[in-house]
Amino acid sequence: MKPLDESIAAAMDAQQDKAIVPFLPYIFQDFWELGTPPEIVIGCIRKHCLAGARHALPLRVLDLGCGKGAVSIKIAAALKCSCNGIDGIPEFIKVAKAKAVEYGVDTLCRFEVGDVRQKVEEWDTTFDVILFGATGPIFDDYYTALTALSKHLADEGVIIIEEAYTDDTDTVQHPTLLSRSALLMQFGKAGMQLVDETVIRYSEIADNAKEMENIAKRCNELKLQYPEKASLFDNYVQNQASEYDVLENRAGGAVMVLKSFKIKNMDAEMKKQWYESLFENYGKKYDSENFTHGTVGECDFIEKEIRYDKSLKILDVGCGTGRHAIELTKRGYRVTGIDLSESQLKRAREKAADARLVIDFQCQDARCLPFDSEFDVAIMLCEGGFSLMETDEMDYEILKNVTKSLKPQAKFIFTAPNGLFPLYHSVDDFHASVVEEGNSVCRNNNFDLMTFREQSVVDFEDDSGKKMTLNCNERYYVPSEITWLLKSLGYTTIDIFGARLGEFSREHALRTDDYEMLVIAK
């Protein structure tokens, strides 16, 4: 988790330059309302908390990143709620306390300076309403934030978020904005359900030109006082102008009302996707599968592709039990491995410890990665998430998030099922030909020519000896699809070859009898 000053800078559109934080009170002295329109929030609370008298009165409201207290104060004045506001900037809290007195709600409003992330860990109370407006960067992501906050949400309580997002088809990269589908996915992963939203048109709720004029004016005044920091203030003005442009012209937004969803009388397995169930207790058995036996040769190829440059930082997406990450670390490379399965990662950490290696293995969802321009190389091998997702849009989110994680001119190496293979060959026959005793068995394959998705049944034995059967759904891609997807994300050099187990090579032209394709993009 980032230091508080870096997170505040990111939340205030400073591109994470924490040097600006001490000057924010001066820059924003002309503003009281920072962020979510209070009237919209009040309407949401009336509709979801007061209608039908679902809660004991007065309502208990928690306002995280409350700024100068405008939202809490107006809620308290309109609804007589008990409001607790927390912000990391002392000058903002001082204004909030004075405004509460001015509005006659100082007995209802309590404001304090603090790191909301620490406070969440300290509280032993619950709230009917938690406001989390436009402060996503304070936590690493919304999944982390909502998982922590849901512990302090009363029964039938709501979390109200104001957030901007990009369209799912938008290829623009932004340091903090997620696509709408990625945002909703994080909500669902944290056990929260979107129950209502009010769409915001940012060009209509504020006079952005006037706000920019005030910000530029205060930054110019600071340049006169601190000429040695002129570039800091110029960069902040530029960042703000860019942010306003994105909000007005390229991003959607909404005030979103979330509730915790509780599924009763349903087997917990029904909530999991097949790939989550498969890798729940399958680490040791996975390492014995025949398709894992090409690790050394595949790492030989990766080394050659990156010209044996051990200064490069590598991201292993869908690292599983860490076979490529461990082999590359043994050879002197710095690798971060991410996977959705804690069980697979546990096995990876055990193997790394046995080899006396220190490797950063993280439980992350490849559809919403927290990295930004951090890596020189990304690898995603043996269907490391991509092609396993339930929708094409989710596959695209993986590509988009991996791209966001890479530095400019970085290299992305991955494999994917070859969509040309099932057009010429029986997938059933292929799986039957490669099965070995003790390995998983894939059967009843049905390939849909309209969607290029394969429906199948997989029988396997987990690490505890329990025999399991899963219905699987996997996407095959043709080379032209991969090329288009990567070009839309800004890649200019895209090479596609046949992927042969343990023998990756640029000499292997892609053929119809290659089950997987090897993609190298830059």
Tell me the mean pLDDT in the region 189-199.
83
Q: 517 with 416: CB under 8 angstroms?
A: yes
What pLDDT is attached to residue 55?
A: 52
Q: 432 with 452: CB under 8 angstroms?
A: no
| High-pLDDT (> 70) share of the chain, % | 88
Tell me the mean pLDDT in the region 516-521.
97
The CATH architecture annotation of domain 4-205+251-260 reads 3-Layer(aba) Sandwich (3.40)
For the chain, give the longest Cα–Cα distance: 78
Q: What is the mean pLDDT of the chain?
A: 85
Model confidence pLDDT, tens digit, residues 10-68? 454 445 568 888 999 999 999 898 777 889 999 999 888 876 555 556 899 999 989 99
Model confidence pLDDT, tens digit, residues 300-337? 999 999 999 999 999 999 999 999 999 999 999 999 99
Tell which wins on pLDDT, 281 or 235: 235
Q: What is the C-alpha to C-alpha distance for residues 505 and 498, in angstroms, rounded to an integer?
A: 8
Taking the model in full, what pTM does it have? 0.56
The CATH architecture annotation of domain 270-418+478-521 reads 3-Layer(aba) Sandwich (3.40)
Model confidence pLDDT, tens digit, residues 223-248? 999 999 999 999 999 988 888 787 77
- Where does the pLDDT of residue 265 fall: very low under 50, low under 70, confident under 90, or very high at 90 and above? very low
Q: Backbone phi, then psi, for 103, in 5-degree steps?
A: -90, 0
* Residue 313 CA: distances (Å) to CA of 251, 261, 369, 504: 32, 39, 16, 21
- Where does the pLDDT of residue 210 fall: very low under 50, low under 70, confident under 90, or very high at 90 and above? confident
CATH 3.40.50.150 residue spans of the chain: 4-205+251-260, 270-418+478-521
Q: What is the C-alpha to C-alpha distance for residues 183 and 174, in angstroms, rounded to an integer?
A: 14
Residue in the structure block whose two tokens are 């009040």: 42
Q: E-assigned strands of 462-502? A: 467-475, 494-499
Indicate if the pLDDT at residue 108 is higher than 70. yes
